[in-house]
Amino acid sequence: MSNFPRTAHTFNYPRYLKALQSVSARAQSDALYQQFLDALVARADETNAPLRVLEIGAGRGDQMQRILDDMATHDAPVHYIALEPQSENRTVTQAVAESYMAGPHTVTVQPTPLLDVATENGAAYDAIVARSVLDLMPLHDALATIEALLSEAGILYAPLTFAMGTKLAPYPSTRTASTEDKVTLIYHNSVRQKTDIEKGSYPAHEISHWANARNARISMRGSDWVISPSKKTYYQDEAYALQSILAFMHDEAEQVATIPQPDLDSWWATRMRMLHNNTLIYTANQFDLLVQFD
C-alpha cells in the first residue's frame, strides 16, 4: 500500500479542468443546451441588440467558447462577461476571450467572485451561466445575487450541477466499503457546508425549489459524470481527474478526522491500485438546469 502514498498526487487546477473536458462533454445534455441556445436566439431577436451574458466560474472558457461560436452562427452578437477568480484558470480563459477580438462579440474576463458582482449602470443580464459551480459556494446567497442580476425575462443555465451522488466500482472488501461509505458521507457533507444547504437536500433540488417559488419555468436533465476505462486504459487524462477527485474525498475525511488513519490510508491505497490497474469506475450524479423567467 505504500506504493500509493497520498503525497504522490499533486493537484494542478488547469490540468484538472482540462482532464474533465471530455467527461463533461459526454455528460452535458445536448437537448437542454439547445433549448438554452434557442431561448438566447429568441431573446436576441426580441431585443435587436447584443445580449448581455454573465458566466460564473468560467474555468478554461469551454462553455463560453461553445456559446459564442453558436451565437455567431445565428448572427446574434453577445457582450459576454466571464468571471474566473482562479488566476491560473483565468490565463487560459483570457486567451480564449482574445480569440474573439475581431468580433462579432465583445468578451471580458474578470477575477470578481459572483457575490461581489453588481450590475453595470443598472443594466441587468439577459442570461447567467453557472457550469459545475453552484455546489462550490453559499447557494442561497448565490441565487439571490443571480436573481438581482437577471433581467425581468432572464435565463439561468446551470449545467453539471452536483446532486450528491458519488459511486465507485467495483465494490471493494467489506472493510474498505465501510470506510468508503464514511468517506463519501463526509465528502457530501462538505459540499452541503460550502453551499449552506440542509442535510438531505442537494443543489439541484434547491435550485428547483427556488425557481418554482418564483413561478419560473424550469427544465432539468441528468448529466452524470462517468469516468470508466475502455480497452484497459482511461481516455486522455481522465485518470488524473479521477485521482484528483479521490484526493478531494481523502482530504476532506482526513480533515474531519473521524476515520482511523490506517483505515483511510487503506481505502486510498485500494482505490488508487484499482485506478493504476485501469479497473476503477467513477460516477457523479448531476443535473443540467435551465430556468427561464417570464
Cα distance between residue 232 and residue 62, in whole Å: 28
For residue 62, the surrounding DSSP H or E stretch is helix 62-73
Residue range 130-172, pLDDT digits in tens: 999 998 899 999 999 999 999 999 999 999 999 989 999 998 7
pLDDT of 119 reads 63
Smallest CA-to-CA distance from 126 within 235, 49, 184 is with 49
Question: Which residues make Cβ contacts (< 8 Å) with residue 101, sequence separation at least 6?
Answer: none
**Four-way CATH pick for 6-292: 3.40.30.10, 1.20.1440.130, 3.40.50.150, 3.30.700.30:** 3.40.50.150
Cα distance between residue 28 and residue 196, in whole Å: 25
Tell me which of 26-30, 99-103, 172-176 is least confident: 172-176
Enter the C-alpha cell of residue 202. Answer: 442537494
Cα distance between residue 212 and residue 72, in whole Å: 32
Q: Could you tell me the CA-to-CA distances from 179 to 8, 164, 183, 261, 278 in Å, in that order?
A: 21, 18, 6, 11, 22
Percent of the chain with pLDDT over 70: 97
Task: For the chain, report the end-to-end CA distance as a whole number of angstroms.
Answer: 57
Phi and psi torsions of 103, nearest 5°: 95, 180
For residue 187, the surrounding DSSP H or E stretch is helix 174-195
pLDDT of 118 reads 67
pLDDT of 176 reads 85
pLDDT of 122 reads 63
Kindly tell me the burial class for residue 119, based on how many C-beta atoms sit within 10 Å of its own C-beta (0-12, 13-18, 19 or more): middle
Cα distance between residue 240 and residue 264, in whole Å: 20
Enter the C-alpha cell of residue 43. Answer: 431573446
Cα distance between residue 147 and residue 130, in whole Å: 13
pLDDT of 120 reads 62
Residue range 201-252, pLDDT digits in tens: 888 889 999 999 999 999 999 999 999 999 999 999 999 999 999 999 999 9
pLDDT of 1 reads 43
CB 83 within 8 A of CB 117: yes
Q: Is the peptide bond before 170 cis (omega within 30 degrees of 0)?
A: yes
Distance of CA 250 to the CA centre of its chain: 20
pTM for the model stands at 0.93
Residue range 2-49, pLDDT digits in tens: 577 777 789 999 999 999 999 999 999 999 999 999 999 999 999 888
Q: Is the peptide bond before 104 cis (omega within 30 degrees of 0)?
A: yes
pLDDT of 140 reads 92
What would the mean pLDDT of 74-85 be, rounded to a whole number?
95
More confident residue, 133 or 1: 133
Domain spans of the chain, in order of start: 6-292
